[in-house]
Structure 1
Amino acid sequence: MRGVGGGRGGSGRDVGRTGAERKARKPGPGRRPGWVIGGFAVAIAGLLLFHRAVPGPPGGLLASFLPWLGPVVVVLLGFALLRRSGVAPAALVLPAAAWAHAFGGLLLPGEGPGSGPYGLVVVQHNVSDENPDPAGTARALAAAGPDLVALEELVPPALSVYEEALAPEYPYRAVHGTVGLWSRHPLTGARPVDIRPPGITGPWERGLRAVARTPRGDVAVYVAHLPSVRIGAGGLASSRRDESARRLGDAVAAEEVAAVVLLGDLNGTVDDRGLDPLTSRLGAARRGLAPSFPAAFPVARIDQVMARAATVGRIRTLPATGSDHLPVLARVTLR
């Protein structure tokens, strides 16, 4: 005779409970949300802190979307609070702190450290070679009142439209191939910059350099359009973009004018390690996220304003034009 509750099928605590009640007490995925969210929290923090350990082009692409992990953390926190989990909110402190360390400064008000009384307002825009309204695009950019306007994907006959529309406010210009610079200040020393990566044949004129004679002194301005990252049968391919960035970085390093401003569609964010030859030599914006591509639903800022011996303050996007990119505007403070 077995004692009460002494059989192998149960314990004394189960006496008087139905099978359904005993099953309901067993832990399952729906009863462990805190640990699941905690696992996600650790994974997100790991990506934010150690994304450079991810090899190859996927690592660079991952870096471009890291700011979007912030909203993911907020969603996870809301879910944890709804489930009244005690573990998850504490675990989410780690990725929240990692995100704030990486991107929190961009959300602060003001222009950022180094703001001063004199600066250049600049606009960078890939206008798209399929833009149906180049005149309207030019007017919209000029209405923002910048000192310098850098454009990429200039193609005939749109180029003549941009020249005519911008001439009243920007009498000085330098154009090479599909990139151009318009300025309120005199431009000198305009010349092409060879950033053609290996393997590309035929016309490929996507870099220029000119010196803007500003009231504060000379500024070497570079305008560039780097190759895009391609997705093919072998996966992501960024070697052409990376080599073009290296050549552009070498040109900037050899620049004799102290103050340098780089404006361009770099087809990568400043966190993409493929752009290290540039980000190691030039400072990026101190404030603002300003995703610029694609214009319909911008998820990443691949249009950049960077500088040497100068500080890029807040960067922001302007309203959409006929391009698949949004224009970006920033104030560059000369030191």
Structure 2
Amino acid sequence: MPIGRGRGLLIAVGAVCAALTMALHTWIPNGAVNLGSLFQTFLPWAGLSIPALLVAAAVRRSRLAALAVLAPVTVWGCLFGGTLTDKRSEGSEGSERSGGGHFTVVSHNVDEDNPDPARTARVLAASGADVLALEELSSKATPVYERELAAGYPYRSDTVGVRLWSKHPLNGVEALPIMPWTRAVRATVETPGGPVAVFATHLASVRVTPDAGFTTARRNDAARKLAAAVRAEPLARVVVMGDFNGTTDDAALRPVTSQLASAQREAGAGFGFTWPAAFPMVRIDQILVKGMSTTSSWTLPATGSDHLPVAASLRL
């Protein structure tokens, strides 16, 4: 076999492997290093293999390799082609839609090291959302948020670390024991269109280390406990939002994500990446919905946190 043709065959094999890995990503086992969760977290970026393979095929002038690249192109398109379209309803984004039949929510990991919590609070208040879910509130910054949000949001949960602020009355507020300290809160928001169960959460952090790989055990355990609380929720209309430290593609988070619809996938534009704020590469901040339709989903501008805020307008 000529060397050029042999290298073209290797590129073709690589293309088929790339296509199969993306298509069968849910079958990648986690094992000791949680390889499956790690790959699924950055799944959209697997598409970078496509231009690399195309360049290699062009350099080798291999028709076989070029045709084989159609396989990962097709798989990536099936997985994410719809994500690239703008599914937001015209005019539904923004504070002017937070009244009437629309219910607007914002979730933000405000970052306990945020250098300017007052500015962050003002940015969030300017969104006009009906409900704000804030995560990673430090004891030092919490009074700042209370002061800045008091005028527009007269109702709040008095939980630690994770809090809700609302324009509408809150009932049934309770901290959920998904971790030894407060990382989730549930409340009934009495909207003009009827009650909505709102869950705010901050699942356990994950790390990537050479010895342990992608460490997700505590996050996954917290997700299972959160999923049980959502499953037991008696209200028909439910919003679960917060910092999941994982994407909706991560199979380990299916206990939660399988029960609800992603606002971003239903009515967003693009991937809506949220972290890191300076150059977002993954969407680990989620708004998940049940019993309502999403008319728009978007990210707010950077606030000084290492996460971008996420917002969604829901039709009651």
CA distance in 2, matches of 1:213, 1:291: 31
Q: 1:128 aligns with which of 102, 107, 111?
A: 111
Instruction: Indicate whether 1:315 and 2:297 are aligned.
Output: yes
In the alignment, residue 261 of structure 1 is paired with which amino acid?
V
* Aligned counterparts, 1:104-143, within 5 A: 104-111=81-88, 118-143=101-126
Which structure has the bigger radius of gyration? 1
Q: Any idea what SS the aligned residue of 1:264 has?
A: strand
* Aligned counterparts, 1:9-158, within 5 A: 27-28=2-3, 34-56=8-30, 57-78=34-55, 80-81=57-58, 84-111=61-88, 118-158=101-141
**CA offset digits 1:248-300 (Å, max 9, x no partner):** 00000111111000011011100111111101111113233111111222211
TM normalised by structure 2 equals 0.87
Q: 2:161 aligns with which of 149, 157, 178?
A: 178
Q: Any idea what SS the aligned residue of 2:196 has?
A: strand
Q: Any idea what SS the aligned residue of 1:176 has?
A: coil
What is the match of residue 9 of structure 1? none
Where structure 1 has 5 or more consecutive residues not aligned to the other structure, the ranges are: 1-25
CA distance in 2, matches of 1:42, 1:118: 48
What is the RMSD of the two structures over their aligned residues, measured on CA atoms? 2.2
On the 8 A contact 2:5/2:62 being kept in 1, the answer is: no
CA distance in 2, matches of 1:37, 1:163: 58
CA distance in 1, matches of 2:258, 2:87: 24
Q: 2:286 aligns with which of 278, 284, 304?
A: 304
What is the match of residue 216 of structure 1? 193
CA distance in 2, matches of 1:314, 1:92: 34
Q: 1:78 to 1:184 in 2, by over 3 A?
A: farther
What is the match of residue 315 of structure 2? 333
Q: Any idea what SS the aligned residue of 1:289 has?
A: coil
Following superposition, the deviation at residue 79 of structure 1 comes to 5.0
Following superposition, the deviation at residue 78 of structure 1 comes to 4.9
In the alignment, residue 53 of structure 1 is paired with which amino acid?
W
CA distance in 1, matches of 2:51, 2:194: 46
CA distance in 1, matches of 2:187, 2:245: 22
Identity of aligned pairs, percent? 46
**CA offset digits 1:129-167 (Å, max 9, x no partner):** 111100111111222222221110111221111111112
Q: 2:256 aligns with which of 278, 281, 288?
A: 278
What is the match of residue 268 of structure 1? 246
* Aligned counterparts, 1:190-201, within 5 A: 190-196=173-179
CA distance in 2, matches of 1:322, 1:126: 11
TM normalised by structure 1 equals 0.83
CA distance in 1, matches of 2:300, 2:51: 27
On the 8 A contact 1:176/1:208 being kept in 2, the answer is: yes
**CA offset digits 1:72-92 (Å, max 9, x no partner):** 324433554565432233212
CA distance in 1, matches of 2:88, 2:291: 16
Q: Any idea what SS the aligned residue of 2:239 has?
A: strand
Q: 1:156 to 1:84 in 2, by over 3 A?
A: same
CA distance in 2, matches of 1:102, 1:219: 31
Q: Any idea what SS the aligned residue of 2:157 has?
A: strand
In the alignment, residue 206 of structure 2 is paired with which amino acid?
V
CA distance in 1, matches of 2:170, 2:198: 9
Q: Any idea what SS the aligned residue of 1:55 has?
A: coil
Q: Any idea what SS the aligned residue of 1:222 has?
A: strand
